Amino acid sequence: MQVVRLQRRAGLFSSVGSGFESLTPYAWILWLDLGLGRGVGSGAVDDAEPEVLLFFLNKMRNAVVRTSEGLTEARLRAPGVASGTNILGLIQHLTGVEEHWFRVVFLGEDLAVEKSMQVPGDVSAADVVAAYRRACAHSDEIVRGSPDLGTLARAVNPGEPRRAALRRIVAHMIEETGRHAGHADILREQIDNVTGR
C-alpha cells in the first residue's frame, strides 16, 4: 500500500507495533495533513482543520465520561489517590476548564467557573455529567462558529503574556482532556479493574 510505503520510508513508525496506532507524533501530523486519517476511529473525519481537532477532542471527552458509567455515586466520589482525586471530580473540573477556555478566555465572557475537583454532596453524578456534556456542546458551537482557528481570544488567560488563538486553545483542550482521561482510566481500574473504556 502506498501510504504504508511512505510512512516506512520516512521512518514515521515508532519502535512498537506496525500499524497506524504506532505512529510517532510527527507522523500523526503528516497523517492528518495529507488527509490520510479519514475514517480513523468510529467515523470519518472531515478534512477541515476544526473538524479534525474536534474529532480528537471529543474522543477524549467521551473517554472521560465512559469511565463514570456503571458506578455508584459513592464509588464515583471515592478518592483514588492521596490528593483526593476522584472520577466525578475530574468531570466537574473539566466542565470548568471548557467554560474557562472557550467562554471566559476566547469569548471574553464575565462568567464564574468552578474548576474544583470537589463535587458538593447535593449535586448528583447525573447532573455533573450533563453539565459537562452541555459545556462541551457549547464549546463545539463556538469553534464551528468562529471564522478561523487563527482568531485571537478576546481575553488573555491569567499568567500568559498575550491572547491565544482559537487553534491553540483547542489543542490545549485536547492535551488537558487527554491527560485527565488517563487519570480517570487509572481511577476506574483501581475501583473495579475495568480498563479501556
Report pLDDT for 196.
66
**Tally of CB atoms within 10 A around 2:** 6
CA distance 9 to 169: 33
Predicted structure pTM score: 0.77
| CATH fourth-level superfamily of 46-192 | dinb family like domain (1.20.120.450)
Rg of the chain taking only CA atoms, in angstroms = 18
Mean pLDDT for the chain overall: 83
**Cell numbers at residue 127, please?**
447532573
Q: Is 126 exposed, middle or buried (0-12, 13-18, 19+ CB in 10 A)?
A: exposed
Nearest to 132 by CA among 186, 87, 74, 164: 87
- Tell me how far the alpha carbon of residue 185 is from its chain's centroid: 14
Whether the predicted pLDDT of 158 surpasses 70: yes
* pLDDT 10s digits, 184-195: 999 999 999 887
Domain boundaries, the chain: 1-37, 46-192
* pLDDT 10s digits, 58-72: 999 999 999 999 999
* pLDDT 10s digits, 80-139: 999 999 999 999 999 999 999 999 999 999 999 999 999 999 999 999 999 999 999 999
Report pLDDT for 30.
39
Tell me how long the chain is.
197
Report pLDDT for 47.
78
CA distance 70 to 86: 15
- In sequence order, what are the residues at sequence separation of 6 or more whose Cβ sits closer than 8 angstroms to the Cβ of residue 41? 55, 59
